[in-house]
Structure 1
Amino acid sequence: MRGTPWAGGEAVPVRGTPWAAPSVGQAWAVPGHGDAVRLHSGDVAGACARGPGVLSRAGVLSVRGDTRPAAERGVAALVVAGAGRRRRCRASPFFDRHRYGQYNDSVLNVVKDQEPKRRYQSRLREDGTRRTRQAIVAAAGELFVANGYVATSLADIAVAAGVARPTVFAAFGSKPALLREVLDQALAGDDAPVPVADRPWFKPVWDATTQAAVLDAYAQVCVLIGGRAAALFETVRRAADAAPEVTELWDTLQANRRAGARMVVERLRSTGPLRPGLDGERAVDVMWLLNDPAHYSAMVQRCDWPADSFRDWLAGVMRDALLPR
């Protein structure tokens, strides 16, 4: 990186007069590399190194095909024409030497070596942004449950998450949107964009080969969701009476529960008949009643039932209500 560029080689302009001072937009080919570089800034540092057969200009360069803005490329380098005696270029005060590197580095090496660093820095920024969002979601969930939705402000959430209030607003836009994200992650288990029905912990419902096994697997799903979201469901139910902006979210939760109930009933009917006298829509009604996280809240969180005992009880109630005797 810090050696003399293109030892013994020369840079030949693709267009324009050879050995003329490079101009903005002029393309240069580097023999032996098969790529072209293009001068994007003008005479930034001036003719900073001259000698027999040597003409150097400092500028911001990019490999052909790189259409990103110069500020994102962040590469300061030399265009060298001719061969012969070479000198170190004086650093231009316009560029930060530590940020951009030595000016007498190989242009192509500088460009290529910057890309992995940019990818690494991009991953760091993405990881940092995700950690910030997760901290906000966790803090919001705790405060919504403890203090209620209406009494919890974005400023309260920012303090609990250790961020500024504008950060919360920039990440989620509004308190209802943040509540929706808190619920989504509680239902799914994380922030990955994967539907509940496609999650690994829902897979046993699809893999079951008997009706009883389908209901056992779905009872376990209800336990998992109840453990993560029962308290939040109650928070939203209460807020819907006092905050009109939450009413739509509560209605959506009920509709989604019914869609889940319908999906499981259809799975049941694909493996055998329902209880005599029970049609498909009535079966969906029953399943929608039974998959309510309020049952988990009542039996496990209030009555101190073990989660396994609640799962077995729920599966038994489902079998009695839906399957032939």
Structure 2
Amino acid sequence: MPPTRAEKTLRTRRRMLDAAHRLFVERGWTRTTVEDIARAAEVGVQTVYFTFGTKRAVLKEVLDSAVAGDTDPVATLDRPWARAVLAEPSAAAQLALQAAGARQILERAAAVLEVVRAAAAADPELAELWRTNEEQRHTVQLRFAEALVEKAGGALRDGADAASAAAVATALLGPETYGSLVTARGWEPSRWEGWAADALTRQLLR
């Protein structure tokens, strides 16, 4: 059975996003053009503009799909891995699941996040995209921290509250820390995951 028109459109969109992802990571924001993306995806330049509107919009969707792992419009806290974090009854096991979830996301998205972070210094719209991503990450970690406080009977290390726990988790599980150890120092992602889980436990639990 031949693909429907909607399926063809979706495949073309995916091909453009894959090409853009690869080019942004390899060349950076400035040196990647819409023409480059169109050529790599084997579509016309106008197809890219018609589908996304601007190069910034392409990067935003590349980032969103890298973080999510797909293009489905499902919020992070509604995804199975996040639901598993919240449903886990053990505080220590919850932190291990947070580290595992962060690893899965950062293996896909760390390089694209670095493209956005680097470009943000010279591009106000991308600076806003970076700030939005930071806020989204913090929002997720705050919800996890609220659940952690409940599981720990309200007693975290050194009297930390949910806001403090979220700040610690956002820093430890952020792309900057991952990039420093995995990208720059050559750690295996599995090693980073174990280190992150241990660091979270030492920082947050008694």
- Matched residue, 1:32: none
Counterparts of 1:231-310 in structure 2 under 5 Å?
231-272=111-152, 273-310=155-192
Do the aligned residues in 2 keep the contact of 1:145 with 1:232 (CA within 8 Å)? yes
Q: Percent identity?
A: 39
Q: For residue 304 of structure 1, report the CA deviation from its aligned partner.
A: 2.3
Give the SS at the match of 2:16.
helix
1:188 maps to a residue whose letter is A
Q: Distance in 2 between matches of 1:318 and 1:183?
A: 26
Q: How many residues align?
A: 204
Match among 197, 201, 206 for residue 319 of structure 1: 201
Q: CA deviation at 1:145?
A: 1.1
Within a 5 Å distance, the mapping from 1:21-40 to structure 2 comes to: none
Corresponding residue to 1:137 among 17, 21, 26: 17
**Which residue pairs with 1:9 in the alignment?**
none
Greater strand percent: which structure?
1
Structure with the largest fraction of helix: 2
In 1, Cα distance between equivalents of 2:163 and 2:84: 24
Which stretch has the larger CA shift, 216-225 or 236-245? Answer: 236-245
Q: What is the CA–CA distance in structure 2 between the aligned matches of 1:316 and 1:140, rounded to whole Å?
A: 36
Contact 1:154 1:165 in 2 (8 A): yes
Letter in 2 for 1:144: F
Query: 1:149-184 CA distances to partner (integer Å, 9 max, x unpaired)?
Result: 122111110001110000000111111111110001
Q: Which runs of structure 2 are paired with 1:3-82 in the superposition (5 Å)?
A: none
Q: Distance in 2 between matches of 1:299 and 1:205?
A: 24
CA distance in 2, matches of 1:141, 1:288: 24
Contact map agreement 2:86 2:144 (CA 8 A) in 1: no
Runs of 4+ in 1 over 4 A off after TM superposition: none
- Give the number of the structure with larger relative contact order, counting CA–CA contacts within 8 Å between residues 6 or more apart: 2
Extract unaligned runs of 5+ from structure 2: none
2:106 aligns with one of 218, 226, 232: 226
TM-score relative to the length of structure 1: 0.60
RMSD between aligned residues: 1.5
Q: Is the 8 A contact 2:25 2:115 kept in 1?
A: yes
Task: Give the counterpart letter for 1:309 in structure 2.
Answer: R
Structure with bigger gyration radius: 1
- The CA distance in 2 between the partners of 1:211 and 1:252, in whole Å, is 28
